[in-house]
Structure 1
């Protein structure tokens, strides 16, 4: 099947009610269609196009075969890790990804949902500047802010693509007609990262610090979202001073803090969202529910691994009141290992299907702290990294573990953390597993740390397999993961047929 309009432009309704409600700014939905410069005539149309980019992050267009993007974000970040197992309704493709048997024919290798939204962003970046000629009320500051948002969303998507596939095509201009060139070769992962760095540096100079209300500040790209993207990007680029610099811009802003580890912690952080900890959250609401109620409860495709409670969080069998807040009824239900983080109204009550609007958390303040710890450790300041995790005393609520009331059995101390980089790395990874269970980060955290210094720590991946893979599949998976190309997905066979400039990942040839 020939693809002529696979990366089509964005058609949006011109009517816009503005941002009059602090939690309804995302109600406008995009519609697919061919749009040229005739659409981009007023600042309201630019605003509409930008909001359409956010809407596209939440759902696929009617009739489109692609899954909602958050399903991909969960599966790409978790299924190859050690914290998720197949549920009774998992598809063959999903089971194959878990068992490292994925093929180019798998529906999970489709990247069209990413490039569809990238093209929406490209339309804004390419076409919005000319609107200043047709609409004299459209200021340069407003234009810059919208372009920054489009650059930020595009950077997030390309970062995810490069972490998932390794080498991917870089499409940096809008697709405006069927005559556009669709034969685009892949760029290397490093080239993609370098383009993201360039885009984020531009976006940082143009982005707003605030959009005027909490929901917009958490659900739209701000300068602090750009800094969070930079912090992660520089970890992948192994540029640790720059990663710390980006983290410190967020930390020193004074605008973010960990949600206190009290009885309201779960409801504040997860069930309600948009807390003091949120930096960028995909904003589901009563009008646009998330897919997680069905995905994890009604027809569960995935459950938590048995090792999540037993090994990662651990259990105090002598004192049931001593538990990690993030464990039972925080991230998971201990009685059946079902994933709870996106389903609970509080620690005791599950939401109904009609209330399934828990956000998807792209970045929150805890991530910034632990990314800084990772960078500090790589620069030889293991002591500084440990302070972020353990705190300076048992009442230090700015510390990750203290806030979470983590069990003493999972705490690690080091005689000299500055000289035990490997040990501190492993501890950071364990704490990231506890903090971000089922938030789409586990596989990428393991991969990033394993591949550092030319795969100096491949053992991190192999040890994860040894600890979590079924005995009858363990040796097969270990053998596959020793081939570094297996750490990335294959290019879908449809893409290979329609784009002759693409070359399949060698592991899948």
Structure 2
């Protein structure tokens, strides 16, 4: 069951637009005192509601939890890229070491469905405004609805790869009377629902909003195509994924930030909204990101102990020769701190008051490596390798990390892509999803990608138990939170790995 109550969302913009932002496209607020019955009358109200969708992506809307910290946890905590500290509560330990139960709060999918319901509110109610506001053009309506469709699709993509089979809710829930119990749909249907939304949104959304911050922080046609490429890879639709990537590549407006050690981190993360960014969650001084507490002040997460030596490596003979993405790119070897979200550059870090590094959803390097994955699936190995080496050259990857697979070695290229994505997107909420997506193809032909990763980080006394669990493919998806099961009246069935 998906429980969304009227008091939470009946007036979306009032709930979400109560703070100001230096991003001009987030500043519009509805007038004080607006109630639900008076809403959906003007194009300005539609615009405010759509801006509210973006604010829901960067503010704590579910308890004190941010979407970005939720995505980080689901994508990183079960991997060899991180360790959890002694400050981490028991729920983190359970998740990391495959001891998840339906009572663990992290199995609660409420945040994702809350954002979906915000999107449904716009999708269902914005079209009627055209009938009462003659200044509201069809093109503007289409663009707003397209943005909501794309954000909804992103949420369903996340649900499908975290929980597997989940309910699909495509209409707005405005009050308790509208609550229904919805059975789970198969993961394939959830992925298809995401693709359907994106295909519908692609011709509707804008190519540009006319300013750089909005073009990076809102849904453009290029962000839709990046989402489509990702979703198609989860469906093993390799040609469609490659085609979606080509729409971004052929536009000629994105490029890789140069790998100069003195500027790479600052341009891409320290400042943000670089030429490489496609879709970034726009934190700023008025709305800080949650990463200072997670990674720095009594840090819950640290970099995995062997990440630098094993994944990035170093040149012992020449200290000036290093992978720019490693030490003081992704992490600090001196402190084992996850550095990417705190570094202004290689030598300066940000204070708590400056903790506004953006959360990268997609950037151009991701598009190139998604296309490489698609080309490899199409047995076009040499073209895939050309893209991998383009990324490696920009990052100055160490020679020892070059797996040098032959163009016809599809499995070798798969391993190379997964490892290169770990280097390129360290701590960007990609790792578990990358490993799982590649492991599960062809009836889990590459389950070794998961089991070998588990061996990299599992303590000796936990290894066999964890391997036994991860060999059961149902364990790769989270349980449904016990309260949802109880409230559904038997409609929702628990993931079989966790019992009923």
Q: Same fold (TM over 0.5)?
A: yes
C-alpha deviations, 1:191-233, integer Å up to 9, x for none?
0111111111110010100011000000000000100011001
Q: Which residues in structure 2 correspond to 1:161-240 (within 5 Å)? A: 161-240=159-238
**Distance in 1 between residues matched to 2:65 and 2:207, nearest whole Å:** 32
Q: Which residues in structure 2 correspond to 1:69-148 (within 5 Å)? A: 69-148=67-146
- 1:426 and 2:412 are equivalent in the alignment: no
- 1:59 and 2:59 are equivalent in the alignment: yes
| CA pair 317-447 structure 1, distance change in 2 beyond 3 A | same
Match of 1:505 in 2: 495
- 1:480 and 2:443 are equivalent in the alignment: no
| CA pair 135-15 structure 1, distance change in 2 beyond 3 A | farther
Shift of 1:255: 0.9
- 1:279 and 2:291 are equivalent in the alignment: no
Aligned residues: 493
Shift of 1:3: 5.6
- 1:408 and 2:399 are equivalent in the alignment: yes
Match of 1:471 in 2: 460
- Report the TM-score when normalising by structure 2: 0.95
Q: Is the 8 A contact 1:53 1:120 kept in 2?
A: yes
Two-structure CA RMSD over aligned residues (Å) = 2.2
Q: Is the 8 A contact 1:28 1:52 kept in 2?
A: no
Shift of 1:9: 3.2
**Distance in 2 between residues matched to 1:365 and 1:167, nearest whole Å:** 30
**Distance in 2 between residues matched to 1:129 and 1:386, nearest whole Å:** 46
Shift of 1:382: 1.1
**Distance in 2 between residues matched to 1:135 and 1:503, nearest whole Å:** 45
- Secondary structure (helix, strand or coil) at the match of 1:472 reads coil
Match of 1:435 in 2: 424
Is there any run of 5+ residues in structure 2 with no aligned partner, and where? Answer: none
Q: Is the 8 A contact 1:465 1:474 kept in 2?
A: yes
Match of 2:342 in 1: 343
C-alpha deviations, 1:129-174, integer Å up to 9, x for none?
0000110000000000000000011011110011000011111000
Is there any run of 5+ residues in structure 1 with no aligned partner, and where? Answer: 391-398
Match of 1:396 in 2: none
| CA pair 4-422 structure 1, distance change in 2 beyond 3 A | closer
| CA pair 309-239 structure 1, distance change in 2 beyond 3 A | same
Shift of 1:12: 2.1
Shift of 1:389: 1.3
C-alpha deviations, 1:220-254, integer Å up to 9, x for none?
00000100011001100001000000000000000
| CA pair 14-436 structure 1, distance change in 2 beyond 3 A | closer
- 1:43 and 2:48 are equivalent in the alignment: no
- Secondary structure (helix, strand or coil) at the match of 1:209 reads coil
- Secondary structure (helix, strand or coil) at the match of 1:279 reads strand
